[in-house]
Chain A
């Protein structure tokens, strides 16, 4: 698929500390349209924090973040508006528990995009269909399995028609047999040209669909490169060691 070189996400020298702990030590990164970037690394190395810095759910201590040319770290930017174009999928799904699957997907459409209720319903059903759950539209999160919940969460983000999707360990909280259904949806998205940044341990997914693997440790980017390179012959021993380990498990 021909990929333009339009820069969708640019991160420049982002720092974040929690108390005395430096979680992000000056990260810089660019993601162009259509790329599928996988962030890997040991737990607690700042991968999720970096993701949340992109849509400013976590505000970096210093550094700049641009999404689609708009600087989000600029205090004068309307952050709510910007977030309409960034989709985020969480490890804990975070579906709105008091709303049905359909209402979960519709909420952003009616309240943020100010869509007509009828139009919103149509669009929401379309998105639910896209993730294979249109027959569950009236169910509440409490009535859905983990995999179904995550797919609804993905539909909820997709309904806003984002230009980039951020996935924060989307399958880590799922039982093994439910991981597959979510990865299928994510693969479809990737093959359809969505720009994606994923924090995940699912190396199989990375091998199949990603365009770049970034290995982070202790708040720094250790090494990055194409999946072929990173998985087969990375430059650094540490990279080989870590990716080798998680390859075994996934």
Chain B
């Protein structure tokens, strides 16, 4: 159908934006999340509790509400574009979940590993870097793969801020051609392919770095 030769390229124009939003969200989410996790595990009691509260609040609010709050309240003040407001909001949200994943992965490494590392004279930081993190990383991949898929899907929310990702493109298209169904189906297919390939890719990574038994 000639619909496809017009529709698909039009929607794909938004694909790079979708990927950029996802990339920023996952990337910054990983950095913030890792910092949060390490502080919670190794940072002492008071800090741990404050951060747990922070994480719980972030996980209790609807993602779209957080997006709107950050865009309307904060982005106006410090002059962020819709793209950055949206992406960083998603990053902040994702960081709360990624912190849980990373924290769980760190805690899943047996206590004895840290003891053994310290007993040969490694400093705490050396032990974390050389012994804990390599093992925690492997444990973290499956749940992280899940989170990556979630962020890909959440990127659709930034259309609300006018960011021209694929859902926005589908909306424009259906407004002009009165063919919403094809437009949204196309978008659905693209999202499905993205999540599918991400999961498969991370599965393959997990298999490659698996510790031999």
Measured CB to CB, the residues of A under 8 A from B are 55, 57, 80-84, 86-88, 90, 92-98, 107-108, 111-112, 140, 142-143, 153, 156-157, 160
> Once the chains are docked, how many angstroms separate the CA of A153 from the CA of B126?
19
Contact (A107, B123) CB under 8 Å given A97-B113, A98-B138 = no
Q: Are B122 and A142 in contact (CB under 8 A)?
A: no
Q: Are B134 and A98 in contact (CB under 8 A)?
A: yes
Query: In the complex, which of the residues B110, B119, B212 contacts A88, with contact meaning CB atoms closer than 8 Å?
Result: B119
> Once the chains are docked, how many angstroms separate the CA of A88 from the CA of B110?
17
Q: List 14 A-B contacts (CB under 8 A).
A: A57-B115, A82-B121, A83-B121, A86-B119, A88-B119, A92-B110, A94-B112, A96-B113, A96-B130, A98-B131, A98-B138, A111-B126, A112-B122, A140-B211
Measured CB to CB, the residues of B under 8 A from A are 110, 112-113, 115-123, 126, 130-131, 134-135, 138, 211-213
Contact (A143, B213) CB under 8 Å given A80-B122, A98-B134 = yes
A168 to chain B, nearest CB (A): 10
Q: Are B116 and A94 in contact (CB under 8 A)?
A: yes
Give A153's nearest chain B residue, CB to CB: B116
Q: Are A108 and B213 in contact (CB under 8 A)?
A: no
Q: Are A108 and B211 in contact (CB under 8 A)?
A: no
> Once the chains are docked, how many angstroms separate the CA of A98 from the CA of B130?
10
Query: Which one of A57, A96, A112, A160 has the greatest number of beta carbons of chain B within 10 Å?
Result: A96
Q: Which residues of A contact B135 (CB under 8 A)?
A: 96-98
Q: Are B115 and A84 in contact (CB under 8 A)?
A: no
A193 to chain B, nearest CB (A): 21
Q: Are B119 and A143 in contact (CB under 8 A)?
A: no
B106 to chain A, nearest CB (A): 14
> Once the chains are docked, how many angstroms separate the CA of A88 from the CA of B121?
11
Query: Which one of B115, B120, B126, B131 has the greatest number of beta carbons of chain A within 10 Å?
Result: B120
> Once the chains are docked, how many angstroms separate the CA of A157 from the CA of B121?
10
A-B contact count (CB 8 A): 77
> Once the chains are docked, how many angstroms separate the CA of A142 from the CA of B134?
15
A94 to chain B, nearest CB (A): 4
Q: Are B112 and A84 in contact (CB under 8 A)?
A: no
Q: Are B115 and A108 in contact (CB under 8 A)?
A: no
Q: Are A111 and B122 in contact (CB under 8 A)?
A: yes
Q: Are B131 and A96 in contact (CB under 8 A)?
A: yes
Q: Which residues of B contact A112 (CB under 8 A)?
A: 120-122, 126
Q: Are B211 and A156 in contact (CB under 8 A)?
A: no
Q: Which residues of B contact A86 (CB under 8 A)?
A: 119
Q: Which residues of A contact B212 (CB under 8 A)?
A: 140, 142-143
> Once the chains are docked, how many angstroms separate the CA of A160 from the CA of B118?
13
Q: Are B121 and A84 in contact (CB under 8 A)?
A: yes
> Once the chains are docked, how many angstroms separate the CA of A95 from the CA of B109?
12
B173 to chain A, nearest CB (A): 49
Q: Are B122 and A55 in contact (CB under 8 A)?
A: no
Q: Are A83 and B120 in contact (CB under 8 A)?
A: yes
Query: In the complex, which of the residues A90, A107, A111 contacts B112, with contact meaning CB atoms closer than 8 Å?
Result: A90
Q: Are A96 and B116 in contact (CB under 8 A)?
A: yes
Q: Are A94 and B113 in contact (CB under 8 A)?
A: yes
Query: In the complex, which of the residues A80, A95, A97 contacts B121, with contact meaning CB atoms closer than 8 Å?
Result: A80
Give B115's nearest chain A residue, CB to CB: A57
Give B124's nearest chain A residue, CB to CB: A80
Q: Are A81 and B121 in contact (CB under 8 A)?
A: yes
